[in-house]
Structure 1
Amino acid sequence: MTADLYSIAPPLSSPYLDSVSNLEATDGDDWAGFGSAPEIPLDLSAESIRDLRALATRLYKELDTEAPPFGTYEDYLSVSEELDRRAAPAVRLVPGSRPMGFRDNVVRSRFELFDDGEVVGSIAYTLRSGRLTLRNTVLAPDYEEQDSAFALIRGTLLNAHRRRLAVVPYCPRIQTFLDAHPHFKPLVSNS
């Protein structure tokens, strides 16, 4: 009886197999309906920062679609890691600056700036329904005259932008910062 089971072969044709076998390899135009991520170069270290940023933007837009192409997330991570790797030495090259840590302390509802493991500045916030209200900016007295306020506010705005939050700058120091640096205004909510 077991010999009879093995002698019965499954059918080799099905509607699915027939439709797949009729596909022919072309220049890739047939795959346009499946989404096509931007092609990333094999060696990201040879690309300029400008090209990497443009590529990261295109990949992010692909990720934001309903059905992103396979591998887009990994490509985005690769490009982001390369940008982060290049950003660390760039911070150290700026005269008179030193690398500072930045984080979102969700327990205390504030963004914090660190220098040598010590909090040197913070921005208190309220987060409700996708709206990030920046209430108050505090800097340690030794850091008032340095670019610490710039690093703290810039980090806060970029973090909110990455998380797609509508920023409401209630704090006067942040409003002054936006007047002095108008290229950050598109990151702030108009309402």
Structure 2
Amino acid sequence: MDIATVSVVASALVALGTLAANFIGGERQRSHEADLDFEERVWEEKSRALFAVIKECRVMIDSDDSLTDDTRQSWALYLSRRLDTLTDAQATVEAFASTRCRTELTGLVEAMRSSGVKDYLGNRVDRFEKEWFDVLKYDPNTMPTSDLLDDIKRRRRFQEWADDAKKEAVADFDPDLPDLQGRAQRLLDAARESVRRPKD
């Protein structure tokens, strides 16, 4: 084989090697960029859920009203709202947070439910009372009598639904507030730690 042929073959092999290296490098770069994009989306979802958990725990910990007959209903509705937010975050926490954070969240949710805290009732009362209030936006002096009577019926219906939800909220409601607040503190600590760390 003469020198010219060797030179051409060597040049072709170098060119092929360069193309292969560029292709492999490009594939690695695309894969790396896809991984970074996924990690960014996961972090946004994870941090949103954990920040919601931290906020709810902080609110529970900072609540210093004692549980009395006069505050029982407000506590039941208040904890129901907290429970809704915590359970909304549960799937994301389960997917992306640390084992400690998942365990503490599950423990707090179970303790709240076993204390008689019921899902959705606090938010249901809020919705019915908003609907009741929205009916008041119409001027009764300019409304036809039949419409006014219909609005009065609607207001009464919303009020009855809100009252029923309040009664349901206090049925079997018997929380150990210091225990729930202690659990909330442990969950808050675990969630803070989990924001900065990958799932274990």
- The normalised TM-score by structure 2 is 0.23
* Larger relative contact order, structure 1 or 2 (CA cutoff 8 Å, min sep 6): 2
Structure showing the higher strand proportion among its residues = 1
Structure showing the higher helix proportion among its residues = 2
Asked which structure has the greater CA Rg, the reply is 2
